[in-house]
Every structure is written in C-alpha cells, then in structure tokens.
Amino acid sequence: MRVVVLHNLRFVRSRATTEIELAQPSILQAMWFAAVFYFLLFTPSVMLGFVWHKLFSLHGNKVGVAIAALASVSYVYLVAALLFRSMLLGQDYSNRLFITVEANAALAFCLSILAGVRKSPVRVLLACTAFTISLAWFLVWAVNAAV
C-alpha cells in the first residue's frame, strides 16, 4: 500500500483500488492556526488602546480620529460578529456573510493605506492597527470559505 499526501488530499493506492481521502491536519497545524487567529483577533484591541491614547493627547487631528473611529467600529463589529454570528453576519455560505466580511476587510485595508499616507504622529501605529484588523477579517473570510 502506498500513501501520497498532496494539498490535504491523501491518495491511498493498493493493488485492488485507489481511494482518495481528505487528510486530517496535524495537531501542530491546528495549534498554529489557532495561535495566529487569536493573535490577529486580540492584538488590535491593544493597538487601538495605544492609538486612542495618542490621539487624545494630540488635539486637532480630525482625520486620524476619523480613521481610528472607523477602524474601531470595524473591530468591535468583528468581535460582536464572533459572539453573535448568525444575527450579525448571516447563515453559513450566505451572500450576506461574504459581503459583510469582504466589505469590512476592504474598509480596514483602505483605512490602513489612508493612515499610512497621511502625515500624522500616529501614522505607523494606526496603519498597522487597521492592517491587522483587515487581516483578521480576511482570516474570518478564509475560515468561512473553507468550512
């Protein structure tokens, strides 16, 4: 019997038949994915705290406050959607789910570009925060597309 694993498909060849099975991920792959998911999920909360602290100490940075507010709303919606998934995102494989996730990922990515272009003392921190939020939304999209 010969076993070949190629992109999560396992081809099992014996003399009589050839079977195709879905290979199960190893425990290390599952742990790595969980670590990346929770890192992307909770890192923006710390970063947003630093951004708001800096923005409150600087007065008159209206564009930075607007970008931080939109990024914060997107992040709060992400955390709330994980808690109340069917109510906020929609059912599995629905158009509403994918449109909501893709729109929030695109919004956060555009905010990261806008924050990076603007001349501001919190430019790098705000751009990194918005980019991390967009990666978290992208990861939610990837999980929902694969499952």
Residue 48 included in any domain = yes
Q: Is residue 5 part of a domain?
A: no
Establish if 83 belongs to a structural domain.
yes
Predicted confidence (pLDDT) at residue 5 exceeds the cutoff of 60: no
* Domain contains 19: no
Residue 112 lies in a domain: yes
Sign of the four-CA dihedral 103, 104, 107, 108: negative
34-91 pLDDT, tens digit each:
888 888 888 999 999 999 999 999 887 889 999 999 999 999 999 999 888 888 888 8
Any domain includes 139? yes
pLDDT in tens, 49-59: 999 999 999 88
pLDDT tens-digit series, residues 95-139: 899 999 999 999 999 999 999 998 888 999 999 999 999 999 998
pTM summary value: 0.76
Q: Is residue 2 part of a domain?
A: no
Q: Is 24 exposed, middle or buried (0-12, 13-18, 19+ CB in 10 A)?
A: exposed
Give the tokens for residue 78: 């992400």
Q: How many domains, the chain? A: 1
Identify any residues that bridge with 13 across adjacent strands, giving them in sequence order: 2, 18
Domain that holds residue 78: 28-146
3-state SS assignment for residue 6: strand
**Inside any domain, residue 53:** yes
Give pairs for 54-62: CB < 8 Å, separation 24+. Answer: 54/121, 54/122, 54/125, 55/122, 58/121, 58/122, 61/120, 61/121, 61/122
